[in-house]
Amino acid sequence: MKMRSLRWSLLGLLALATLPATILMVVQATSEYYRDREDIQRSLLRVSLIAASEERDIITGAKQVLRALATQAPVTELRQPSCDQALNNVFFGLRTFENIAAFNLDGEPVCSVKQIPPGATVAHRAWFKEVLAGAEFVVSERVVSAITGQEVITAAVPLHDPLGAVTGVLDITIGTGWLTYLSGISKEEDFSFSALIANDGKPLDAEHLDPALARKLPPPEELAGAHSAGPTLLLTEGADGVKRAYAVAPLVRDRLYLLVAHEESDLFGWARFDLLTGLVFPVAIWLAVLICLWIGIQHLVLRWLNYLGRFARSYGDGNFDLRPEVLDQAPEEFRRLARTMSKMAAGIEEYTAELEQNLVEKNWLIREIHHRVKNNLQIVSSLFNLQMRRISDPDQRAVFADAQSRLNALELVHRTLYEAENLKEINLRHFLSEVVNQLIQFRAERRDRVTFKHDLPEVWVDPDTAVPLGLLVTEVVTNSLKHAFPDGRTGQVELDLAADPEGGSTLFIRDDGIGKEPTTQGFGSQLIDAFARQLGGEATAVYGPGMTMTVRIPKLNLEDPAA
């Protein structure tokens, strides 16, 4: 189907008209999707910060306990047994802490809630060195407890004498298992799972960590570099190959972090669904509108156009008997068009019948004219014949004979038109053959000595071409019969008509007579040139042996069947 049809044109216009709105809706849906993703990511970060607040409260509580103890003289002076008693009084009821201990400047334990193995020292610990270096509050990295052998985190403050000099270090140890427990019970409806990680990206209390949970964590090297800038969201795959969103919130900067995670498919599922509907819905509406238009055009327009088109083609073929009638369900515009076509067909049918009747009468009148002209020419020819019988001079008789030949050629044209079914065309092959045969028969002394041969195609010409061509052939053949076969000589007259490579055609008139070229140009030669010019061409004669007259006829095209 051509794209320039009515259906495709209307569909194209509607598609172009509605496409900007569709594109705008798609762009808006895409923008909303990315905005929703950002909102979800921010929400997950907020959840991680809220969840981290509980763990951060433990650190804050440890700091407050340490500062309260650091103001008591038995502790700052490291006096026994009052130092142990002071520590035990505070430690009672604090479930989140494993131990409270005070160390001298050499890192040796002086007092402690729980018994520390002999020879134990913290002098090599980084947190101990930081406190001695002047830090007011230090939280350690993950370390192994000398008491329990489990991973712990140490919070420490310096001890000062009344003059402000550092006399030792006071610390509280927090079990990582307790922190992990707290992180695991925090608002689980907001995320799939949570875990505590150290600054190296590895989870705390890894020995007691659920293996299934461990497989959900991303590689430590990715986490180690992700939290350096504060609260961070990381989209990556866990060890189990599932893509998740990991929100990392700091508990103790550069020491401890809380990680909360949510599977990406669950986290962004609704956003993706909204995006899908936002993309599919406008496109579906756009396509539905085009489909409805397609069906509407077919049902309301093209269906009736095709129906009326069949009648129009029938009228074009000349059949005006049919009328469009089955249009009860058609729109009013097509019913009016059908009524107009019916009136038009009736009018054309009536007018055609009138024209055909006029044409019959015209053809009858033309045939009658040709018949009467033929009869009149026959009468004139008979008068010439009677006159010739009374003339004894051979030259005068020859003049009358030539004139009679020309009259016979004209009479033959009118007789051919009168007898033909088509008054506008003459069979050139039949016409020229009869002209030559009639000339040979007219010359009684030549009829047994001269034969006629032709190679003429079956071609039809109009009377304006047939008349000058017939008269030209009459003049040439008459000259051949008069001059080419003297003293009882036998011979042949030949007519050939061939297509010209340059267009048109060429007529060859030949005889195999004596080929004597005339010394003067007579009236017949003048007529030959005149008839050739009337045909739009020219005539050329070549003598010896015999004679060949070449007549070029540009307007006679043998390739055209109606030539």
Q: Where do runs of H (alpha helix) occur along 263-331?
A: 264-267, 269-296, 303-316
Instruction: Tell me the pLDDT tens digit for each residue of 402-428.
Output: 787 778 777 877 777 777 677 678 888
Look at residue 499 and give its three-state secondary structure: strand
Same domain, 463 and 397: no
Domain range enclosing 521? 447-563
CA distance 283 to 277: 10
456 and 545 together in one domain: yes
What is the CATH number for 452? 3.30.565.10
For residues 388 and 452, membership in a common domain is answered with no
Render pLDDT for 115-170 as a digit per residue (tens, 0 to 9): 888 888 999 988 899 899 998 988 887 677 877 777 788 899 999 988 889 999 99
Same domain, 475 and 403: no
Q: Report residue 560's pLDDT band, with 50, 70 and 90 as the boundaries.
A: low
User: What value does the mean pLDDT of the chain take?
Assistant: 80
| Domain identity same for 512 and 458 | yes
Q: What pLDDT digit, counting tens, does each position of 259-297 carry?
A: 777 776 666 666 677 777 777 878 888 888 888 888 877
2, pLDDT greater than 60:
no
Q: Are residues 463 and 382 in the same domain?
A: no
Does one domain contain both 473 and 562?
Answer: yes
Most confident stretch, 11-15, 233-237, 298-302, 453-457:
453-457
Burial call 440-472: b when 16+ CB within 10 Å, e when fewer: beebeebeeebeeeeebeebbbebebbbbbbbb
Q: End of a domain among 423, 438, 458?
A: 423
For residue 184, is pLDDT > 70? no
Measured on CA atoms in the order 76, 80, 82, 88, is the torsion positive or negative? positive
Which of 327-336, 358-367, 435-444, 541-550 has maximum average pLDDT? 541-550
pTM of the predicted structure, to 2 decimals: 0.41
Nearest to 238 by CA among 257, 258, 262: 262
Give the SS3 label for residue 497.
Answer: strand
Tell me, yes or no, whether 478 and 550 share the same domain. Answer: yes
The verdict on residue 476 lying in a domain is yes
- Same domain membership, residue 452 and residue 526: yes
Q: Which residue, 423, 457, 481, sits at the end of a domain?
A: 423
Asked which of 408, 423, 438 is the last residue of a domain, the reply is 423
Distance (Å, whole) CA 101 – CA 122:
11
Classify residue 85: in a domain, yes or no: no
- Asked whether residue 91 is assigned to any structural domain, the reply reads no
Average pLDDT over residues 349-372: 82
Residues 393 and 473 in one domain: no
**Domain assignment present for 343:** yes
Reply yes or no on whether the pLDDT at 562 is more than 50.
Answer: no
Q: What is the pLDDT of residue 156?
A: 93
Q: Output the CA–CA distances (angstroms, integers) from residue 180 to 211, 254, 256, 258, 394, in the order listed.
A: 14, 18, 12, 9, 150
What is the C-alpha to C-alpha distance for residues 188 and 307, in angstroms, rounded to an integer?
Answer: 71
In a domain, 123, yes or no: no
Domain match, 465 and 524 both? yes
Mean pLDDT of 333-347: 82
Domains contained in the chain, number: 2
Name the pLDDT band for 182 (thresholds 50, 70, 90).
very low
- The answer to whether position 380 is within a domain reads yes
Specify if 341 maps to a domain: yes
Claim to verify: residue 545 and residue 513 sit in the same structural domain: yes
Residue 59 located in a structural domain: no
Percent of the chain exceeding pLDDT 90 equals: 16
Question: CA 214, 229, 233 angle in degrees (round to 5)?
Answer: 50
Ordered DSSP codes for 344-383: HHHHHHHHHHHHHHHHHHHHHHHHHHHHHHHHHHHHHHHH
